[in-house]
Amino acid sequence: MIEIICDSEEENESDDSKKNTSIRRPKNIKQIGDVSSNRKIYIEDYAFSYINSIAYSSPDEEQAGVLLGECQRADNEKCLFIKGVIKAKHVENEGKQGIYFDEKIWNGIYSDAEKYFPNLQVVGWFAALPDVTAERMQYLKRVHMDNFAGNMKTMYLINTLDKEESFYLYENGDLRQQKGYVCFYERNYEMQEYMLEKRGRRSVESQEKDRVMKSIRSIIQEKEELQQQKRNAAFMYGVSTFMVVVVLVIGINLMNSYEKMKSFDRSLNSIVTEISNMNQKEAGNVNGAEQDGVAADSDDVIPVHKVTGDVYPTKEETEPENPSQNPSAGNTQNTEADKEEQTDEATKPANTGQESSIENVYPEYDTYVVQQGDTIMGICKQHYGSASRYEDVIAFNELEDANKLYVGQELKLP
């Protein structure tokens, strides 16, 4: 079957609208099948949903009821509007089974129609069967002729086994299946009240509301999920940004620390260098002061004349044989020539090689390794107990400048 959905009924031409003023056509419709015939069936959506709920809630049972509505005519066109449904209350009595309409059933139908649908009339009936055979179809035709005679009385047949629904109208002495029908939508309060009362199904409006609420809930849930995803994404972005900042800060701090360590190392080196220079300057000052002290004390030191030979002259060689030869005894017999000869002999060793004479005079010596801050005079005072051997140590070690000593330098101490 072809299903055509229309939001509003087409407007007729001006002449046709004048002829059809008596037909009140609904605005919101859904066309099912072909409805080009001059006899059209309109069924309200609440009534249509209620019939199907009855039929398919118990598909193995035979059920029936009446259709309530109105019939409108305009020239050759006839329209049947179904707006209400009342289910027949069948009681299985002896000899009566399946679908039937008796006086008791009709009394119940009229009672419900007067209560819920006072402004509607019977326009047909419906039947729901698990299987529609030719025999059952003949039975349904007899039921229709006996209870719903008339050209615009319809039968809505539902085959619950094959799930087929069809409308029938009486024509030329027979029930003929219609090619299509129209389902329309409006606020059918009467049908809603009946459905709620009978509890056959919940109100279609409530169902629609539930459907709308479910749709709204799903939309809200989707929005919440989307917002949650956005919040999670924002949180992750914030965490990532924070981590990047932390890494950058750590890197910058490490670079600064490295630069600070290098600067600190340079500062330490410069301080060490300055301290070393200061020590060297102080050592130089001390050497100068010691030299000055030696110069100041030179008057108190008895000069020693160096002579050549393997050993120092003995006492017998230096003292005169008799007192008459002692200069202190007033011996004035030495001539000026003797004095000059003695002077020349005394000064001769200094001019002929001091190194060999010292080495010959001091064949044995000790060694000393120069330490930081040592001076020649300090070494002499430490080794000899006096600085009087200052010049001997300088000459013995062939030092050009007594103020220039090096740490680790080895000195010979005669």
Q: pLDDT tens-digit profile of 37-48?
A: 889 999 999 999
3-202 and 301-413 share one fold:
no
Flag whether pLDDT at 85 surpasses 90: yes
In 13-151, DSSP assigns E strands to 29-33, 39-44, 63-74, 77-87, 121-129
Name the nearest CA neighbour of 51 among 165, 211, 153.
Answer: 165
Whole-angstrom distance, CA of residue 235 vs CA of residue 233: 5
Whole-angstrom distance, CA of residue 217 vs CA of residue 223: 10
User: The whole model's pTM is what?
Assistant: 0.45
- 109-140: pLDDT as tens digits: 999 999 999 999 999 999 999 988 889 999 99
Is residue 302 helix, strand or coil?
A: coil
Average pLDDT over residues 135-162: 90
Percent of the chain with pLDDT over 90: 22
Asked whether the beta carbons of 180 and 31 are under 8 A apart, the reply is yes
**So what's the pLDDT on residue 154?**
93
Of residues 30 and 327, which shows the higher confidence score?
30
Flag whether pLDDT at 205 surpasses 80: no
Name the nearest CA neighbour of 374 among 298, 292, 282.
Answer: 282
Q: Residue 65 phi/psi, 5° resolution?
A: -175, 180
Flag whether pLDDT at 332 surpasses 60: no
Which CATH code fits 3-202? Answer: 3.40.140.10
Q: Which range in 1-15, 84-98, 309-323 is most confidently predicted, on average pLDDT?
A: 84-98
Amino acid at 407: V
Average pLDDT over residues 278-288: 67
Please report, for the chain, the start and end positions of each structural domain, with discontinuous segments joined by +: 3-202, 301-413
Q: Class assignment of domain 301-413?
A: alpha beta
Q: Residue 368 phi/psi, 5° resolution?
A: -140, 135
Query: Residue 166 corresponds to which tokens in the numbers above?
Result: 């069809």
Q: How far apart, in Å, do the first and last CA atoms of the chain sit?
A: 138
CB-based burial of residue 201 (10 Å sphere; 0-12 exposed, 13-18 middle, 19+ buried)?
Answer: middle
Length of the chain equals 414
